[in-house]
Structure 1
Amino acid sequence: MSMRVLIAVTHLLGAGHLTRAAALARAFAKAGHAITLVSGGSRIQLIALDGVSFVQLPPVKTVGTDFRALLDESGAPIDEKRLTERRDLLLKTFHATRPDILITELFPFGRRVLANEFGALVDEARRQSPPPLVLCSIRDILVAPTKPERVAEIHARLIRDYDAVLVHGDPRLAPLEASWPVDDEIRPLLRYTGYVDENDAPVPDDARNGIVVSGGSSAASLPLYRASIEAARLIPDRSWRILIGPGVAETDVQSLRAGAPPHASVERARPDFRALLSKAKLSVSQAGYNTVVDILRAGVRPVLVPFEAGHETEQRLRAERLKAIGLAEIIPEDILSPGRLAEAVRGGLARVSSEAPDLSLDGARQSVAIVEGIDLAAPARQRTFDWSQLSQAINRAKDRGCPIGFWWRDDDAVAHTPALERLLGLARRYDAGMALAAIPQALNPSLVQRLETEGNVFALVHGASHANYAPKGEKKAEFGDHRPVEAMADEAGQALQTAKAALGDKLLPVFVPPWNRISTGLVPFLPRKGYQALSTFKDRDTPHPTKNLLQINTHIDPIDWHGSRSLVEPERTVARLAEAVDRRVEGTADRNEPIGVLTHHLIHDDAIWSFCERLMAYFAASGIHFLRIDELFRNPDRITVGT
């Protein structure tokens, strides 16, 4: 389905924010969506915007890092008239495009000086019926306010007005927590896209040679250019190519060119920059977002001089992350000198090249895929869920001394997939125990390998092949009343051996019948075949349905299986959780059976993922953690209290 998408961005110093937003716009256009890009920064010639409608607001800019002082194109302070013109044109564009998706670049994490126009845009979006999906687009590393109340204001707006935050980075290099105080309220909104890069990786030249020096698009790189020219004099046996950004005045370029030694060329930045990097022995640069993406793609060893003027911390943190994985040399900006730069360059040239880390660099296309996967009409788009019914039930249980525990089972695991990785990341983020019901006859080695490093995750035996043997018209079942009990018992026993051979200690001898249906005649055979526990779906009748067999079931499933196959209305799921707690308090259910949440990661859409994350965040804020699965099934009487 084609969507109408509006991206609003204002770059104030360099052009990185606009460059990234333009890359997203091109990716949306390439995917067949109607995309409008609104820029409020200085007029910059962008590369082809085929299929993208571009709107330029009356430009504003800053000089240096004083982002509170906005200037017009001539360098004069802007007035209220210009701010009003910008806001009016922004809202006019919004109404003309009628977007299904609104993306604000950096705001509300930044651009506080322009909060009135960004806020007016978001408020207008929320007044529409139905409202568009509102997303925030941010780079991998941010600069957090020093005042806690500012952070609280930003988080409050995110929770109230935003549906998701597209984090254009890879948490394996720089999780957002490294630069921003992420809490359990905004964490469910985060969607990591990978680094935004539209170009395929270049093929490095076998005979790499020379040094490429580059800076951002602003004049902030002048000290680096000057130091590089002098450092080149100290290393005359290498060619130097110094590329100057468009924000540097032509008089400065001429001065740099006149002072350069013969083996150092000085020229304006070129469109074939990536190709030049792929042939270079070493890169000298700052540590801006786009520069680092270029370095990672080209596989060139970098010497980084991160921009740190005005207490900026973004580039220093990114540079330190690259140094930590053995990829970069760093020279702090405040001690930059030709001698230190020459020393770092010699060290970089002498060091054996490190293999580039396996980081996601497909952020533009992944951003589109994430947005396309969000159900515009999903109930999960409501900004807040009412947890009060569940909170009241949990409080009643505490007042009555009733132990309440929660555990998590996810069915149909077969291989390591992106959906499984998202599931494992969610469990890891909240330190949650998780049981993966794995299908023995469909097990892929990738699943086995992936679970080896997950201490809180264990596999259970999910039937044999997940085949349906029920006659047409009856409810599906693999181990129902449709086959001889002895044959099913042998099959279940073989399934346990198959899973055990593949998963080893990561497998618990727990039988999970597909579709949660099992013949009562089969149950007594399970201990004889090596099983120690059974798990289906409903309140158990007794802890031990047969001798030497424990039963711990699941009780809550957020998927609307008989309707949309998306998310059941969140209010219904919250009510069912509360009812499950109350049944234990009232004694109509076994109070020692923890409440099981059942998910199916392979079919989750964004609405279901969002609810799962919000449920985890709610539990974490309430001091509740999903129980460790290995301890739950091995020592059930000892840890059924989960709060």
Structure 2
Amino acid sequence: MRVLIAVTHLLGAGHLTRAAALARGLACAGHAVVLVTGGRPAPMVSLEGVEVVELPPVRVEGTAFGTLLDADGGPAGEHHLARRRRLLLETFARCRPDAVVTELFPFGRRALADEFLALLEAARARIPRPVVLASIRDILVAPDRAAKVREAGERIAAWYDAVLVHGDPALAPLDASWPVDTELAARLRYTGYVDEGVPCPPAGERRGILVSAGSSAAGTGLLRAAAEAARGTPDLGWRILAGHGVPDAVLAEIGEGLPAGTIGRSRPDFRALLAGSALSVSACGYNTAVDLLATGTPALLVPFEAGRETEQRLRAERLAARGLAGVLPEAGLDGAILRAAVRRSLAAAPPPPHGIDLGGIDRSVAIIEALAGRTARPPVRGQSGLAGLRAALDAAADEGRRVAIWWRDDDAVAATPALDRLLALARAAACPLLVAAIPAAAEASLAAALSGADPTVSAAVHGLAHANHAPAGAKPAEFGADRPLGVRAREAASALSIARERLPADRLLPVFVPPWNRLAPDLAAALPGLGYTGLSSVPGPSVPGLIRADVDLDPIDWRGTRSLVDPEVLLDRLSRRVAEASGPIGILTHHRAHDAAIWAFLDRLLPLLARHPAVECLDPRHLFRVPAMDAPAPAWPCSASGLRARVS
């Protein structure tokens, strides 16, 4: 099944976080997902495994949701909005989805109605028509005019098959915040809360106060009160986390005089910190509430209530009514008030078991599958494994389609028997290869091996030293967002310089391959200025100035046996990608980690792919070549994402 999800977050990143979690859930179930985002980049939101198309961004100032601004803070004029609509419709036409999901619209995002309605028109005109669903959180902002309710109801009746309500009606039925008539009620599908399922550490002694103020600048008042409270009671062990929407200068001013490490930015290991805290002090956005329910952490909630915002107050009150949290008004909050409330909360009884449904991802996937009449399965002739792959390739040949394949291997440092076997396999299969080498660890023998390899073997820059700089408990990353951009940029520049010294000049491509396939967006944006022209990772957003080609078919079971993933699963997934006909297919290997089972699998797979008449094995030198301005358009998009073409 092919699914297109359209989401635009205007203030914080909560809407994008929820939509991305749903997209990853669908991808894990075997479906091809395109996530079209229309807000500013959100570095803390995981988009792994999903094709992302970024529209020219819009945002708002404060709670003025009717006044759209562009990335520079100026009015988002008709030309800007027209570019968004055009790219959205182009993506729909390319994706040919079986299901379309609009996040919040038509219950909100009325300022973007033109682009959402254009998408709905395109969906209605397509044959066969895709299933169309709205995706909303548990609680909406209460409408201030009956006309808004009527307009949303008319649009639901005219365009939508169902409304996914990502909540548990036992805690907050939709009609607690939005009028629900008989027609709307018939379309509602409660999914449970969308919990990303980040594992929590084993329960132990809880210590300290964790303050989190969301991803936008809306939590600045809470940050100031928490900093003031922390100065007066340092013995309580405060940790205060601010979102990336708070300017650095403001954060430095708020944290003046606090002990080192007390205040900082949001972290990827937030749930682990939360699970170990004696008390959480936070606003009551959707994702924060889910984290609290998942960890069972005692909570003091300060709901955001600026403008007409009623959502967080209602959610906080419903949690408080179950004994799951205390509530403190945002208005008039200062350090003294917060200190007193914290001491009361620490002395209160721990929250009871809640029984609230957190299975929103799996249930959402099941609902979409049922409505679309699809489940993840090999799409070709009922066959699986190598037979299914051959059948998929034969079908492509019968249709006159070409299937583009390309191959990347990571972690090269020296000439070894495993590298020799890799190069021999590439030569025997006549399949070009990109070898991602670790510059700081590269030995002279690697340069010699590459120089003697087949001419279609190229090299790329695999980070600097493949060193993990992520904080404890977070996923490993060498170039994540946990260190200053200047430090990371210098290291990336040094990596290219060292690679040019240690690797053959006629083999090296200025292509950056981040270790663990994790790269912070700010460094990605800086790469062109450091001399790089290409980027290869797992599917992620396009980057101006870079040719992107990603991979997402890895035969190694990294989280389990570290041997071969079930080959039937791998081959069936590959068969689906072939049938989708949606862009170059990227295969990732790690020659230093291969065992006999992995080598045997590759010995069967690569010759089959390379010798089939429907397959074109792409040479990395051509894949990452910067096109001349007057050159004809390439056969495949220059910004390519592993298994699906990406829009630059």
- Matched residue count: 374
* Equivalent in the alignment of 2:266: 269
CA apart distance, 1:201:
4.9
Matching residue of 2:126: 128
Aligned to 2:324: 327
Q: Which runs of 5+ in 2 are unaligned?
A: 375-648
Per-residue CA deviation, residues 99-130 of structure 1 (Å, 9 max, x unaligned), is 00000000000000000100111111112222
Contact 2:59/2:71 (8 A) holds in 1: yes
Tell me what 1:101 maps to.
99
Partner in structure 2 of residue 596 of structure 1 = none
User: Tell me, what secondary structure is at the counterpart of 2:203?
Assistant: coil
Cα distance in 1 for partners of 2:327, 2:249 equals 29
Residue 302 of structure 1: how far off its partner (Å): 0.7
The answer on whether the counterparts of 1:144 and 1:151 sit within 8 Å (CA) in structure 2 is no
**Structure 2 match to 1:466:** none
- Residue in 2 that maps onto 1:237: 235
Residue of structure 2 equivalent to 1:72: 70
Deviation at 1:289, TM superposition (A): 0.5
The CA deviation string for residues 544-601 of structure 1, in whole angstroms up to 9 with x for no partner, is xxxxxxxxxxxxxxxxxxxxxxxxxxxxxxxxxxxxxxxxxxxxxxxxxxxxxxxxxx
SS at match of 1:334: coil
Q: Do structure 1's residue 285 and structure 2's residue 294 form an aligned pair?
A: no
Task: Map 1:533-572 to 2 at 5 A.
Answer: none
Structure 1 counterpart of 2:28: 30
Contiguous gaps of at least 5 residues in structure 1:
378-643
Report if the CA contact (8 A) 1:229-1:264 is conserved.
no
Q: Per the alignment, in what secondary structure is the counterpart of residue 370 of structure 1?
A: helix
SS at 2:149 equivalent: helix
Aligned-residue offset at 1:361: 1.1
Q: Separation in 2 of the partners of 1:375 and 1:54?
A: 22
The 3 A distance-change label for structure 1 pair 48 and 65 is: closer
1:42 aligns with 2:40: yes
Cα separation, 2, equivalents of 1:125 and 1:259: 56
Q: 1:87 maps to which residue?
A: 85
Cross-structure match for 2:169? 171
Q: CA deviation at 1:375?
A: 4.9
8 Å CA contact retained: 1:9, 1:104: yes
Code of the residue aligned with 1:349 in structure 2: it is: L
Q: Contact between 1:308 and 1:316, CA under 8 Å: does it hold in 2? A: yes
- Residue in structure 2 matched with residue 117 of structure 1 by the alignment: 115
Of 342, 345, 350 in structure 1, the residue corresponding to residue 342 of structure 2 is 345
Aligned positions of 1:149-228 closer than 5 A: 149-228=147-226
Q: CA deviation at 1:146?
A: 1.5
Kept after mapping to 2: 8 A contact 1:231/1:338? yes
User: In the alignment, which of 243, 247, 253 is matched to residue 255 of structure 1?
Assistant: 253
Q: Against the structure 1 CA distance between its residues 375 and 244, is the aligned structure 2 distance closer, same or farther, given a 3 Å change threshold?
A: closer
The one-letter code matched in structure 1 to 2:124 is R
The whole-number CA distance in structure 2 between the counterparts of 1:204 and 1:44 is 29
Instruction: Report if aligned partners of 1:229, 1:259 keep a CA contact under 8 Å in 2.
Output: no
SS at match of 2:234: coil
**Alpha carbons of 1:82 and 1:200: their partners in 2 closer, same or farther (altered >3 Å)?**
closer
Deviation at 1:309, TM superposition (A): 0.4
* Offset at residue 366 of structure 1 (A): 1.5
Contact 2:192 2:360 in 1 (8 A): yes
1:406 aligns to what?
none
**Which residue in the other structure is 1:316 paired with?**
313
Q: Is the 8 A contact 2:325 2:351 kept in 1?
A: no
Is 2:302 the partner of 1:305?
yes
CA distance in 2, matches of 1:25, 1:226: 35
Match for 2:366: what amino acid? A
8 Å CA contact 2:198–2:271 kept in 1: the answer is: no
Matched, 1:364 2:361: yes
Secondary structure at 2:307 match in 1: helix
Q: How far 1:328 sits from its partner (Å)?
A: 1.0
SS of corresponding position for 1:303: strand
**Structure-2 residue corresponding to 1:142:** 140
Deviations 1:268-297 (A, max 9, x none): 111111000111000000000011111111
Q: Counterparts of 2:82 and 2:330 in 1: how far apart (Å)? A: 38
- Contact persistence 1:133–1:376 (CA under 8 A): no
Structure 2: distance between partners of 1:375 and 1:9: 20
The aligned amino acid for 2:282 is S
The one-letter code sitting in structure 1 at the alignment partner of 2:298 is R
Deviation of the 1:360 alpha carbon: 1.2
- Could you say if the C-alpha distance between residues 346 and 27 of structure 1 is closer, same or farther in structure 2, counting changes exceeding 3 Å? same
Identity among equivalent positions (%) equals 57
Give the secondary-structure state (helix, strand or coil) at the position aligned to 1:186: helix
Question: CA deviation digits over 1:135-181, x for unaligned, max 9?
Answer: 00000000132111221111011011100111111111111111010
Does the 8 A contact of 1:232 with 1:264 survive in 2?
Answer: no
1:336 equivalenced with 2:345 (yes/no) = no
Is the CA contact (8 Å cut-off) linking 1:302 and 1:327 kept in structure 2?
yes
> In 1, distance between residues paired with 2:202 and 2:178?
35
Preserved CA contact (<8 Å) 2:238 2:262: yes
Question: How much does 1:376 deviate?
Answer: 4.0
